[in-house]
Amino acid sequence: QHLPALLAAMPKAELHMHIEGSLEPEMIFALAQRNGVALPYASVDALRAAYAFTDLQSFLNIYYAGASVLLTEQDFHDMAWAYLQRAAADHVVRAEIFFDPQTHTARGVPMATVINGLARACDAAHEQLGVSAALILCFLRHLSEDEALATLAEALPYRQHFIGVGLDSSEVGHPPEKFSRVFAQARAHGLHVVAHAGEEGPPDYIWQALDVLHAERIDHGVQATRDAALMQRLARERIPLTVCPLSNQKLQVFPDLRQHPLKALLDAGLCATVNSDDPAYFGGYVGDNLQAVFAASDMDANHAWQLAANSFEASFAPEADKAVWR
């Protein structure tokens, strides 16, 4: 009774959300119509019916198809603004938002269109919703490091509009070390660095993200539970894991949320956080993720409080802001 209300009302930061994964089917169809883009689905219901994923790749195929409706700066703005309003309703006071520029530049959409549209929505969220929002540029790991280097160079004219870089898309077969040079360059530009690791991939990818990329946070990281030495390091160094329970369930990483390791991670002293990953595809926003994972476990109000505190500790917001939220 009290716990659902606490989870809903507590101020929180969301640190692992792909903005292209916030495109609801209704908005995909509206943008397709606005832009004259043909979709391989007859209706909103037919599209939603395709959201039956067996693993990460089966999701990514549909996620990239959905993103093909985004063409104009207004499209990118409208997508981000819809997410930020939804986040504010979940008492998100800080959002660090991933975007995948290569998904768009490969279709001929200019980098400026992508970044300016998203940045305008982030500015509006701060002014109109009281949500502090920032962007993290993700490299697609199924593409080459040279393509990532070209993408970073293309984005650097807009350096003031993003706070960091990340690494996403198909994990297995694309280890973090493949991107050592581009992450070194990003760090040299003063950008924060994070990486998806240990979602489907092995604990070794988490070690690489830490030791080769110098990642400040690990996105997902749930496979760390298979490596006791890694668990000790993550706890000792308070390296945050941005965990996404409904994503893990829908992509069959933990098909039964009762098997999800969130409580084990918290009880082992790790700085775990709860996030939505791709809320339009995985059945809910950050509040829904919290409700679902608590309903499937015996976590209590102390765990809830710890998750909120962790989300601010793990965020890249200015310390002065964090002091207010905590």
Hey, which residues are catalytic here?
199
Range 267-300 burial, b when 16+ CB lie within 10 A, else e: ebebbbbbbbbbbbbbbbbbbbbbbbbbebbebe
Q: Which is nearer to ligand HPA, 12 or 196 (CB)?
A: 196
Tokens 């292209």 correspond to 20
Convert residues 245-274 into a mask of x (bound to ligand HPA by CB under 6 A) and - (unbound): --x---------------------------
221: phi then psi, degrees, rounded to nearest 5: 75, 5
Query: Shortest distance, CB of residue 277 to Zn ion, whole angstroms?
Result: 5
Q: Tell which one of 196, 217, 260, 303 touches ligand HPA (CB under 6 A).
A: 196
d(CA 272, CA 279): 19
Do the annotations mark residue 104 as ligand-binding? Answer: no
Residues that bind Zn ion in the complex, under the rule CB under 5 A: 277
Torsion over CA: 217, 211, 172, 260 (sign) = negative
Kindly report the length of the chain: 326
Do the annotations mark residue 161 as ligand-binding? Answer: no
Cβ burial of 54 (10 Å; 0-12, 13-18, 19+) is exposed
Do the annotations mark residue 174 as ligand-binding? Answer: no
d(CA 276, CA 278): 6
Q: Which is nearer to ligand HPA, 63 or 76 (CB)?
A: 63
If one asks whether residue 218 binds ligand HPA (CB under 6 A), the answer comes out as no
If one asks whether residue 132 binds ligand HPA (CB under 6 A), the answer comes out as no
Please give the distance of CA 263 from its chain centroid, rounded to a whole number: 20
Q: Which is nearer to Zn ion, 78 or 277 (CB)?
A: 277
The residue nearest ligand HPA at its CB is 168
299: phi then psi, degrees, rounded to nearest 5: -65, 150
Do the annotations mark residue 196 as ligand-binding? Answer: yes
Do the annotations mark residue 278 as ligand-binding? Answer: yes
* Interactions with ligand HPA, residue window 40-99 (CB under 6 A): 56, 63
Binding site membership for Zn(2+): which residues? 16, 18, 196, 277
Residues lying near ligand HPA in the complex (CB under 6 A) are found at 18, 21, 56, 63, 168-169, 196, 199, 247, 277-278
Binding site membership: which residues? 16, 18, 196, 277-278
